[in-house]
Amino acid sequence: MKLLISNDDGIFALGIRSLANRLAAAGHDVTVVCPDRERSATGHGLTLHQPIRADMVESVFHASVKAWACSGTPSDCVKLALWALLDGPPDLVLSGINHGSNLGTDVLYSGTVSAAMEGVIEGIPSIAFSLASAASSEFQPAAAFAESLVAQLAKQPLPELLLLNVNVPAVQVEAIAGVKVTRQGVRRYIDVFEKRLDPRGKTYYWLAGELLEEVAETPVTDQAPTDVQAIRDNYITLTPLQYNLTSTTGLTSLKNWKFDVFMQKVD
């Protein structure tokens, strides 16, 4: 398969090397376009007010991998690859392997997920891969699962355009409990800004939020488990996402709202 791979940890991150090299060794046509430095938590930001530069990179990846380091955001990287660097659209857009989990509401901020979502926006099925620990550097189990998942999608493509958000627990392979299709859970943070002074005596702030892992969720028996809970149980989580954020229940409830009074005031 023809694969485009990006990330938000930067061109020299071990996660993207593990992913790209594994898939290249498996015989896939791999192109890497990713930030030239870490761009974590950039969300779906795009560079509009300055030029974007892309330089070819050699001797970092498997010999068959074509790679560029881009000065922009993860979303910039995928957009630039699809519209300027590649000679044709890839079969899949992959992002990662991120050094740390992307679970629950993390996906709204994640550069890793946003890079993959850019592929979906352009009509290409995409997958975001994350290792659920910022301390572990054992990316091989996640890379092996990525190889298996890509091979499965080559034989059985997704029935509809989706982003698959994959998180792999940072445990030994034999300790992985299995794979679960999950729904997006909830992760909440206490956002604390530390107030500091620079050497010139000017005030600045440093975001030092604390993750609340113990978010209580009402169990829903007729739905899939959440990604947050499944990863705690050492399952690989596979969560289908889409960019359409419209609330169907909201549409139903808002239909009953009355705007007659407002319209009369407008008249």
The pTM for the full model equals 0.90
Domains of the chain in sequence order: 2-186+223-253 (3.40.1210.10)
What pLDDT was estimated at residue 214? 46
> What phi and psi, each to the nearest 5 degrees, are found at residue 55?
-120, 135
Q: Which residues pair with 69 in a beta bridge?
A: 34, 55
Q: Can you tell me the mean pLDDT for 255-263?
A: 77
Q: Number of C-alpha atoms within 13 angstroms, CB side, residue 244?
A: 5
Residue written as token pair 């050094």: 99
Render pLDDT for 60-105 as a digit per residue (tens, 0 to 9). Answer: 999 999 999 999 999 999 999 999 999 999 999 999 999 999 999 9
Q: Report, as an integer, the average pLDDT of 223-233.
A: 91
3-class SS of residue 146: helix
Mean pLDDT of 239-265: 84
CA-CA distance, 147 to 107, in Å (whole number)? 23
pLDDT in tens, 119-173: 999 999 999 999 999 999 999 999 999 999 999 999 999 989 999 999 999 999 9
Per-residue pLDDT of 1-58, as tens digits, reads 999 999 999 999 999 999 999 999 999 999 999 999 999 988 999 999 999 999 999 9
